[in-house]
Structure 1
Amino acid sequence: MHNPLVPPHAPPNIRQPMTCRSRKEATAARHIMNLLARVMVVLILASASLAHAQTTMMNSGWTKSAGQSQNGANPKFKFTLPSTQTVTIDLMSSVDTYLYLLNSNSVVLYRDDDSGDGFNSRLTVTLSAGTYYIVAATYSTDQSGRFTLSTTGGSLGWCFVGYEHANYGGIAYQFCSGGPFPSHSSWNDKISSFRVPKGMMVRAFEHADGSGVARTYYADVPYVGPLYNDITSALSWDSFAENGFAMAMVSDPQFAWTYCKDSSSSTKCSDERNAYPNWSAESLSRLYNGRMRDTINNVKNVLGDAAFGGVIVNGDLTEFGDQDADLGDYVANYEHGLKANVYLGLGNHDYANNVDDCSFNHCANSMVSYHKAQVGTLNPVSFDYGENGGDHAGSLGYSWEIGDVHFVQLNNYPTYTRSWSGFNFSEWRTDYFYITSAIAWLRTDLQNAAARGKKIILNWHDWAQVQDNAEVLAILRDFPVIAVFAGHRHELFGLTGFSGDGTNVPIFHSGSAHYGTFLVTRFFDNKMYVWMMEINQLGDGSLRIVHPNTDERIPVSNLTDKFDVCTGCTQYYKYVIDMNAR
C-alpha cells in the first residue's frame, strides 16, 4: 500500500530549503499525511480498491542483482496507464542496466539493454490502457548500486514478494500498490521470506486486524526467523525515507530500577518518595517505562512509518535478567508495546551480573536465549552466535542496515568474555555458554560494510569499560564509525565526549528510563542530527526537549515540526555530525 501523499522521492517531514508552501499549509499537509498513515498501517489485504501514488519516477537499488532475469532479486514495479499513449521508460544507474516491460500476466513484451545514455536502458513504446510491470535488471549478475526508473506517462507503484519458504523458495505471493492481491487465504500464515526493493518498507503483522507482534523490513529478508515464521496475517507498505529516516536511542529500561536504587540518600530518591509514596519498585518502573514507550510511539507517529527506522535499546533491559517479572515487563512494554522494530542489546544486569547468582544460571541463560530469538527476527546482516546441541558460543553481536547506515549492537561491551553452564530443563541436559570477544567478528563485519560504502553506528552498553582499549580504538580508527551510543550510566545524557588516541569519534549516552531521557537521531544528506528528549518522570510525565543553545528544558505538547531539518526551520536538534568527516 502506497501513501498517496508521500511520493518516494520526497521523504516525509524533511522540508527542503526554499519551500514555496507556508508553514500553516505544510503543517496541515503533514497532519493529513500522518492521519492517513496511521489509518492505513493496519490494512488487511482483502481488497484491491486502494489508491496508489501517481508518480512517474522511482528511486531504488540492487543489493545483489539477478542479472538479465525478470524474476528473483531484481526489483519489480507496477506500471499503470489510464489511456492509450506512447511512453518512454528509462532505467538509469552507474551499473550496466537491463530493462523489461511485462504485461499484466507478467509475460515479457519488450526488453532493452543499452538504448539509453551510456549503459542505461530505454524503451519507447505505444501501449493501450491497462496494467503492466517493469523489471529493473542488470546486464551482469551480483551487481549492487542505486537506480532511477522513470516514465513519461502513466504511474509507477511498488511491488514486493512474500515466499512460502526461507531463502525465497516455494510459492511466491506478489503484492503491488493498488492490487490485484493474492487471496488472503492463499498466503495467510504461510510466509517465510520476502523480497523488498530498496527505498520501500514492508510491515508484517501477526493478526489480520494489524494487532499482535510485527516486524518492518527495509530490504530482502531470506528468513523472518523462527518466532515470525508462518504467522503473517496482514501487511502494509510504503516508500521509505532512506535519506531522512530517524531512530530512537534508548538505554537502561532496567525493570525494576528506580532513583532510590541508584542511591537511597540522593535528592532524587527523596523526590521520588515524595512524588510516589508507598509505590513498589515494580510499579514505579512500569510507570517510567510506560511513559517512555508512549512518548517514543508518539515520536514515531509524528515522523510516520515511512521515516522511522526503529528503537535501539543499549542494554540493561532488566535488573536481574529473567527473574521475577523483569523480563516479562520488558517484553510487554517494549517488544509488544512499541510500534516499531526494537534492536535490543544485553547489559551487565541482564546476563553478566547473574552468572552463578541465580539457580541453575537460569537468569542469564534465559536472557541469552531471548536475545538470540529476537535477533533472528530482525533480518541481521551478520550475527556472532553459533549453537551446537547444548553449546552456545559467540559475542552475541549483530549488525543490520537501513539505507546507507550500518548499525552494530555489541551488547555489554565489545571485549566482554564469560563462560558458564546451566541446566536446560526443557531438553533435560546441561547447556554451556561461551561469550567471546566481538573484536574479530566486528572487524570482518565492518570491513564488509565499508566495502559497500556504508556509514557505521556502533552501540553497546558500557563505554567506560573499553574507552582505553587498544583493540577498540583501532576499530574506531580503521573504519568510518560516525558515533558510538551507550548506556549504563543512568545520569549521562547527550554527547558526553570523544574517543581517545586521535580517533575522535563522538560518544553519546542515552540516559535511562527512570531519568526519562532518550535520544532521537535522523540521518539526512550525510549528516546525523541528534535531539535530546526528556520526560518529567517525577512530575506529570510531560515531554521536554533540550534547547540546542541554552540546555534549557523546553516543554513540548505537540511534536509537529520538532524534527524538521531545513533552512528557515526552528532548530530543536542539539547536535549535527558530518558523516563524511569519517
Structure 2
Amino acid sequence: MIALAAGLAAPSGHALEKPWQHFVFISDTQYPWTDKNDRGEPEDEDTRDRRSREFILAQGEGTLQYREDNGGIDNVPLFINGDLTAYGHAEQLDFMTTPLRTKYVRNFYINLGNHDYKNNVDDCFNNNCALRMYLQMGEWAQGYGADTLDYRKVKTDEGQGRHSMDHYGSLAYTKTFGDVLAIQLQNEPTYEVKFRGKRFVRHDVNVNPGLGVLAAGLKAARRDSKSVIINMHSPPYSNWKVAKSPEFIKLMKDNEDIILGIFAGHLHTKVGRFSKVGKIPVYLSGAAHYRNFLVADFNPALCQLQVWVVHENNPHERKEHAGYSEATTCAG
C-alpha cells in the first residue's frame, strides 16, 4: 500500500488547523448484473441474481469499513454514481433497499445512470421503469438536505376526483461538505428527455439538462471559497446527449482552479484515473462485480485531494494510488 502520494505536501502547523475530509465513490451496482453480462457469457438467472447480490453486499461492507475507520459514517459521505439497477424494475429497486439500509446506512448520495432511466424510456410498460426511478430519485434528493435541487412537481385536478402530475427538472443537486461542494449531475449534464408514464395516475416527466445547476454550483463555490467535486454516471463524453458540449467545456475551463475532479462510473472495467477535461482529472469507480471502489482524502488547508482505488473491497490492505489534484484557488 502506498503511504503518501508523490507531490503531496506534508501537513504544516497551518494544515493541521482543519481536519482532513474523506469520501467514498462507488458505481454500477446494477442489480442483477455480473461480470458474465459484461463478457456476453451465459449465466442462469438464479446464479446471476445470487452472485450480483453477493458482489453488491461485499462491496457495501468494504465501504462501510472504510467509513467507520475514517471518522464514522456521518463524517464520510458515500457517493453512488448510478447504475443502481439493470433495468429499473420494481424487484431490482426493492433489493437495493437492503444495501441502502444495512451497508450504506446514511450520509450517502445517489445519481441515476442510463440503466436506471435513460435506457428505459419507451422500453417498459407505461414507462413504469424510467418513471419509477425518476420519482424515487426525486424523493431521495428531497431528503438529502441539498443546498439546491432541480426538481418540482405540479398536481393538476382533472375533475371527477382524478388528477395528474407534471414533473420538471434534471434532478441535479448540490450539497456542501465542510470545505467541499459536491455537484451531483445524475446520468450526465446534457441529458434531456420528455416522457409520459402511469403509476396510479398519469405522470408527465420533463428532464432538462443539468448544466444550469452546474453553473450555479460553481458560482456559489467560488463565492463561498469551496473546492468542488463533480459526480455523474457517464464520464465526459461517453454516450452524452451533446457530445463535447461547448457549455460544459467552458464551465470546466473557467473553473479548473477550484475543481478537484470529476467522478463517474458507467465503464465497468475501468477504475482509477481515466482521462482529463482540460486540466481536471476524471476518475472512474469500476463496478460492484469487479470488487473495487474509490476513496479520497482531502486536505482542506491546502485544497489537495488524493484519490485511491480499493481492490478486492479491502480498504486496509489493497489500496492503490490513483491520482492527486489541488484547487489552485484555495482559501485554506
Flag whether TM exceeds 0.5 (same fold).
yes
Look up the match of 1:381.
147
Q: Which whole-Å CA distance do the structure 2 matches of 1:298 and 1:544 have between them?
A: 7
Q: Which whole-Å CA distance do the structure 1 matches of 2:217 and 2:272 have between them?
A: 27
Q: CA RMSD in A?
A: 2.5
Instruction: Determine helix, strand or coil for the equivalent of 1:523.
Output: strand
Q: Name which of 416, 441, 460 aligns with 2:213.
A: 441
Q: Name which of 285, 307, 313 aligns with 1:530.
A: 307
Distance apart, 1:459 and its partner CA? 0.8
Q: Which whole-Å CA distance do the structure 2 matches of 1:365 and 1:475 have between them?
A: 30
Alpha-carbon spacing, 1:328–1:306, altered in 2? closer, same or farther (3 Å):
closer
Instruction: Determine helix, strand or coil for the equivalent of 1:431.
Output: strand
Q: Which whole-Å CA distance do the structure 1 matches of 2:117 and 2:270 have between them?
A: 22
Look up the match of 1:258.
34
Distance apart, 1:242 and its partner CA? 6.1
Q: Which whole-Å CA distance do the structure 2 matches of 1:416 and 1:347 have between them?
A: 11
- Structure 1 residues 380-459: aligned runs within 5 Å: 380-389=146-155, 390-425=165-200, 429-459=201-231
Look up the match of 1:478.
254
Amino acid at match of 1:347: G
Look up the match of 1:578.
326
Look up the match of 2:159.
none
Percent identical among aligned pairs is: 27
Amino acid at match of 2:203: D
Q: Is the 8 A contact 1:392 1:434 kept in 2?
A: yes
Q: Is the 8 A contact 1:243 1:403 kept in 2?
A: no
Distance apart, 1:308 and its partner CA? 3.4
Look up the match of 2:162.
none
Q: Which whole-Å CA distance do the structure 1 matches of 2:259 and 2:324 have between them?
A: 15
Q: Which whole-Å CA distance do the structure 2 matches of 1:402 and 1:435 have between them?
A: 27
Q: Which whole-Å CA distance do the structure 1 matches of 2:153 and 2:90 have between them?
A: 27
Q: Which whole-Å CA distance do the structure 2 matches of 1:508 and 1:469 have between them?
A: 19
Q: Which whole-Å CA distance do the structure 1 matches of 2:133 and 2:323 have between them?
A: 34
Alpha-carbon spacing, 1:283–1:411, altered in 2? closer, same or farther (3 Å):
same
Q: Which has the higher contact order (CA 8 A, sep 6+)?
A: 2
- Structure 1 residues 138-153: aligned runs within 5 Å: none
Alpha-carbon spacing, 1:573–1:308, altered in 2? closer, same or farther (3 Å):
farther
Q: Name which of 230, 239, 260 aligns with 1:465.
A: 239
Q: Name which of 64, 67, 71 aligns with 1:304.
A: 71
Q: Is the 8 A contact 1:494 1:508 kept in 2?
A: yes
- Structure 1 residues 148-297: aligned runs within 5 Å: 243-265=19-41, 280-297=47-64
Look up the match of 1:370.
136
Look up the match of 2:85.
318
Q: Which whole-Å CA distance do the structure 1 matches of 2:135 and 2:19 have between them?
A: 35
Q: Whose radius of gyration is greater, 1 or 2?
A: 1
Q: Is the 8 A contact 1:244 1:522 kept in 2?
A: yes
Amino acid at match of 2:327: M
Q: Which whole-Å CA distance do the structure 2 matches of 1:491 and 1:284 have between them?
A: 17
Distance apart, 1:17 and its partner CA? 5.8
Look up the match of 1:343.
109
Distance apart, 1:345 and its partner CA? 0.3
Alignment pair present for 1:352 and 2:100: no
Q: Which whole-Å CA distance do the structure 2 matches of 1:402 and 1:18 have between them?
A: 23
Unaligned runs of 5+ in 1: 1-15, 20-240, 536-541, 546-554, 557-561, 563-571
Q: Which whole-Å CA distance do the structure 1 matches of 2:73 and 2:124 have between them?
A: 43
Alpha-carbon spacing, 1:509–1:373, altered in 2? closer, same or farther (3 Å):
same
Q: Is the 8 A contact 2:271 2:283 kept in 1?
A: yes
Q: Which whole-Å CA distance do the structure 2 matches of 1:468 and 1:516 have between them?
A: 31
Q: Is the 8 A contact 1:255 1:326 kept in 2?
A: yes
Q: Which whole-Å CA distance do the structure 2 matches of 1:328 and 1:447 have between them?
A: 38
Q: Which whole-Å CA distance do the structure 1 matches of 2:72 and 2:291 have between them?
A: 24
Instruction: Determine helix, strand or coil for the equivalent of 1:471.
Output: helix
Instruction: Determine helix, strand or coil for the equivalent of 1:391.
Output: strand
- Structure 1 or 2: larger helix share? 2
